[in-house]
Amino acid sequence: MEPDGSPYGPDPYPPPNPRGPLQNPTPQIRHRSIAAIAFLLLVLGLVCAGAYFSGEVQRTWTGPAAQSQVPRPGVLPFGQRQDPLPGREEADAPLGTPPPLQRTSNSYKFLAVKDDGTPVAYSPCRPIHYVVNSTLAPASWQPLVEEAVRQASLASGLKFIYDGPTSEVPTSNRAGYQPEMYGDRWAPVLIAWTTPEQVPRLAGQTVGLGGSSSIGLSNGYKAYVTGTVSLDEPQFAGIMDSPQGKEIGVAVIMHELGHVLGLDHVDDPRQLMYDQASWVRQYAAGDRTGLAKLGTGPCSKDF
């Protein structure tokens, strides 16, 4: 706006000024003013156009809150997402149910619980896929894994599907979504024989590690989506050379699968989830009670 209050003429109520002529702009001043406004409008138009094409306008309109929101799975095209398309293989009802418990026990503990006190678990309405890296495994690894998976599935009611071999090696920060290796889905559970050099936490007397990664949704839903079982090849080979090597080997894998499904260690030496080596070879009453609870979690098509 012109100093006189209007770009089109003098202010109808100009302030008193003894010099008079300055109350009414001369044509030269008016032309310069109009030219200055046009120049400013041109510059503003160029800035807005550049901001639009660079995305600045969009960010200004949406605001900081929208910028901080993580895109929901499936919004971006495949290849650009950080999570798979939600709801893959999610049925309308659980694929299986835990068997009736002949005996219950409080000797179990969950690795993680939600705000309502229920454990974080896998969805019972979709299968748990798993792959095996057997590069360092003993020759008889397959029946050991199959039996351990069968027992974990039976106790929890959760369905497992073997997807075959993999070249993936365990890491401490394994990605839950690896589309370049496993396609547009959550990465399958990885079972692998490895060494303390590759997995430092296996140093010492630790023969195996197991655990899962979870996802949390804005509605409060939490669930495990993938996991890893890492087995110390040198120690496992020594177990297999022992008189009851096969039974112990299966029990070790069952123990780690218990962690994958959500069980923590307990102080009860009568349970397979006891934190030290013991004579127990099967899931006991406390293990089965905990696994049954983990197998009856909620379903969700939102992840």
Report how far apart, in Å, the C-alpha atoms of 153 and of each of 67, 136, 204, 239, 288 are. Answer: 42, 25, 30, 24, 11
Q: Look at domain 128-294 and name its CATH class.
A: alpha beta
Give backbone dihedrals phi and psi of 161, rounded to 5 degrees, phi first: -130, 125
Bridge partner list, 280 = none
pLDDT at site 218:
83
The tens digit of pLDDT for each residue in 277-288 reads 888 999 999 999
In angstroms, rounded to a whole number, what is the distance separating the alpha carbons of residues 137 and 128?
22
DSSP string, 174-228: --S--HHHH-SSPPPEEEEEE-TTTSGGG-TT--EEEEEEEEE-TTS-EEEEEEE
DSSP string, 1-39: --TTS-TTS--SSPPP-TT-GGGS--HHHHHHHHHHHHH
Domain boundaries along the sequence of the chain? 1-69, 128-294
pLDDT at site 178:
95
SS3 (DSSP) at 58: helix
In angstroms, rounded to a whole number, what is the distance separating the alpha carbons of residues 65 and 287?
44
* Residue of 138, 193, 150, 160 lying closest to 282 (CA atoms): 150
Bridge partner list, 263 = 110
To the question of pTM greater than 0.85 for the whole model, the response is no
- Which residues of the chain carry a pLDDT beneath 70? 1-81
DSSP string, 99-118: PPPSS--S---BS-B-TTSP
The tens digit of pLDDT for each residue in 247-274 reads 999 999 999 999 999 999 999 999 999 9
Burial bucket for residue 228 (CB in 10 Å: 0-12, 13-18, 19+): buried
The tens digit of pLDDT for each residue in 181-218 reads 999 999 999 999 999 999 999 988 899 999 999 998 88
